[in-house]
Amino acid sequence: MGAVGSKQHSRVPKASKFSDVYDDNENSVASRYTKLVSAFKKEFEGEKPRTIARSPGRVNLIGEHIDYEGYSVLPMAIGLDVIVAVSVVLKEEGNVEEDEAKATLSIANVDGEKYTPKEFPFDHEQDVDVKSHHWTNYVLCGFKGIFDQLKKQNKLESVLESAFMKRVKKVMVMVDGKVPLGSGLSSSSALNCAVTVALMDAFELSFTKGELSELTCLSERYSGTQSGGMDQAISIMGEKDLAKRIDFNPIGAMDVPLPTNLTFLIGNSCAVSKKAESAHKHYNLRVVECRLAAILMAKHYGEDIEKAKTRVTLREVADLYCNKGDLWTALGAVRKSLNEGSYTKKQLENDEGLGDLRKIFDCENNEAFNVVLQKNDTFKLRDRARHVFSEARRVHEFQKICEGQSPIYTVSGPIHEHWCKVIGLEPDVGVASDDPTKDFGHPMYGMGKEEALAKLMHLSHESCKTHYECSCDELDELVDAFMSAGALGARLTGAGWGGCVVAVCESDVAEEILADVKKSFYEKRFQSGVANIADETNLLFKTAPSAGAAILHYDDEKGVIV
């Protein structure tokens, strides 16, 4: 069962007017769609789009790098999105020449100079070329994902044999993206999701939001990152005015109302985070480290080594052995079962008895993991697992506070004592450097709601920086800039290693903070050319929970959605 408030069984809405989806000025939205349609007609020789879909980027408020470990995360969709127009040309009936011609998938972008067009065969079995990072890879991911889903539902054969599919001659896709690339606001998932929804509609198929979230999560892995499902799920299931707690296995989205007196701000660190290109030393390496940590923890609990090697997520192990997934017990277990510092490959394979790591990660069939194991010889497990369990706890706490519960954390008191008991130390003696209760820093008893939420965001950043090592100098500098300007809390958002910071502040001082951060962080970057002043509004801005994916049939001649 998904959580209460989940929308995973509903379908992507068809918008009947722009204001169903956008808060922006209606004329400027309409002119963006007109541009998309004209670019479409120009590129594809007068053809008109059959379907237009949009899907937004997201900002993750808390819960970083834990979705692929099975833990819930807490993002919201943002107003910046990707819009995609699609049309399908069918072969003329009875035309033998056309019957034999190979169907094609043609992809172009409104900004064709920067994002060059590409044509592929209309073949869902083709591979995505992960070695060349062309933007159209994500379109291909979306295209392949639709057929994977049909296969999963045992409908592939019948759809491929349908009169419609057999007559496909050419599929045309035109894209316009407003989510800044490499910013940690999930431009890639917005593109994948918008394409998937548009193609689904153009192919006369209908998947639920839950199915779409899952299929896009899996299909994006064709691009080379072994990412979790947060970005796609919130892009599909986001809603105006609500953050969401996204759950996995099964996927679900629970409404989380944010305090109305708070405003969330986004700042781009100007360090580009190239998720796919650097995956082997960043993102995919962390996925590997967490899995190795899960395996060693299972072994610690007495599992036979062959069984332990089948464990995939830390949550799986915690649910089985740590007091039904109690996160404090899991944090204690991390200390007992994983060494501080790094393990070498040799240590893991020989001393820990895991044998050939390549086999565990199925490297013959999984190129992403193959590269990780080829290019890395050391793996940090304790710090990574510690981040995952403590971050999962912070998500839980953040949600409860949003729902009106009072902040309950304190370093001394029940949590600290409980943890000391778990690891077999007397209270207080247990305040060692790796005491997980320290992750919560200062007592939160008596804190106001706003202050406590901000504190959790701050602690999340510290954990990302110190234990997960997914921050960078620019992100840390920007977090400090927000804090010095008067924000209540700030943290990196998304995968990290560049990209954006999300900050929270009292709404009445938001403008002042933006002005201050502009001065302290951006002005020198505008001067040195690291950032372009023309992009200012996309680098630093206020944000609010926005609508998720939608289908909009836009008639550019009438200027209305039909």
Catalytic positions are 231
Stretch that binds ligand GLA, among 22-30, 126-134, 223-231, 324-332 (CB under 6 A): 223-231
Helix (H) or strand (E) holding 461: helix 449-466
Q: Is residue 354 involved in binding ligand GLA (CB under 6 A)?
A: no
Asked if residue 548 lies in contact with residue 56, where contact means CB atoms within 8 angstroms, the answer is: yes
* Ramachandran class of 498: left when φ > 0, alpha when ψ lies in -120 to 50, beta otherwise: left
Q: Which is nearer to ligand GLA, 65 or 315 (CB)?
A: 65
Q: Which of 160, 44, 166, 163 is nearest to 100 (CA)?
A: 166
Determine the interface stretch with ligand GLA among 137-145, 225-233, 301-309, 348-356 (rule: CB under 6 A).
225-233
Site string for ligand GLA, 450-489 (x = CB under 6 A): ----------------------------------------
By the rule CB under 6 A, 227 interacts with ligand GLA: yes
E-strand ranges in 381-507 read 489-492, 500-506
Q: Please give the Cα distance from 234 to 227 (Å, whole number).
A: 14
Contacts of 427 (CB under 8 A, 6+ apart): 412, 416, 417, 420
- Which is nearer to ligand GLA, 335 or 394 (by Cβ)? 394
- Residue 485 or residue 549: which is nearer to ligand GLA going by CB? 549
Q: How far is CA 89 from the centre of its chain?
A: 33
Task: Give 277: exposed, middle or buried? Use CB within 10 Å, 0-12, 13-18, 19+.
Answer: middle
The answer to whether the CB of 436 falls within 8 A of the CB of 390 is yes
Bond preceding residue 414 cis, omega within 30 of 0: no
57 binds ligand GLA (CB under 6 A): no
Give the binding range for ligand GLA (CB under 6 A) out of 18-26, 57-65, 151-159, 322-330.
57-65
Question: Which residue's CB is nearer to ligand GLA, number 231 or number 383?
Answer: 231
Binds ligand GLA (CB under 6 A): choice among 43, 64, 81, 556: 64
- Choose the stretch contacting ligand GLA; rule: CB under 6 A; options: 100-108, 170-178, 222-230, 246-254: 222-230
Q: Does 65 bind ligand GLA (CB under 6 A)?
A: yes
> Which ranges of 485-559 does DSSP label H, i.e. alpha helix?
510-517, 523-528, 536-539
Nearer to ligand GLA, 192 or 329 (CB): 192
Q: Which amino acid is at 89?
A: V
DSSP 495: S
* Contact string 483-502 vs ligand GLA (x = CB under 6 A): -----------xx-------
The dihedrals phi and psi of 124, each to the nearest 5 degrees, come to -75, -10
Distance in angstroms (rounded) separating the CA atoms of residues 123 and 101: 13
Least separation in angstroms between residue 227's CB and ligand GLA is 3
From 67, 201, 247, 255, residue interacting with ligand GLA (rule: CB under 6 A):
67
Residues 6+ apart with CB under 8 A from 147: 124, 156
CA 207/CA 213 separation, integer angstroms: 10
Nearer CB in complex with ligand GLA: 88/285: 285
Q: Number of residues in contact with ligand GLA, rule: CB under 6 A?
A: 12
Pick one of 214, 231, 247, 289: the residue that binds ligand GLA (CB under 6 A): 231
Amino acid sitting at position 368:
A
Looking at beta carbons only, is 329 or 543 nearer to ligand GLA? 543
* Shortest distance (Å) from residue 68 CB to ligand GLA: 6
Residue from 78, 175, 202, 230 binding ligand GLA (CB under 6 A): 230
Stretch that binds ligand GLA, among 124-132, 228-236, 428-436, 549-557 (CB under 6 A): 228-236
DSSP β-ladder status, 550-551 and 500-506: unpaired
Q: What residue ranges bind ligand GLA (CB under 6 A)?
A: 60, 64-65, 67-68, 186, 227-228, 230-231, 494-495
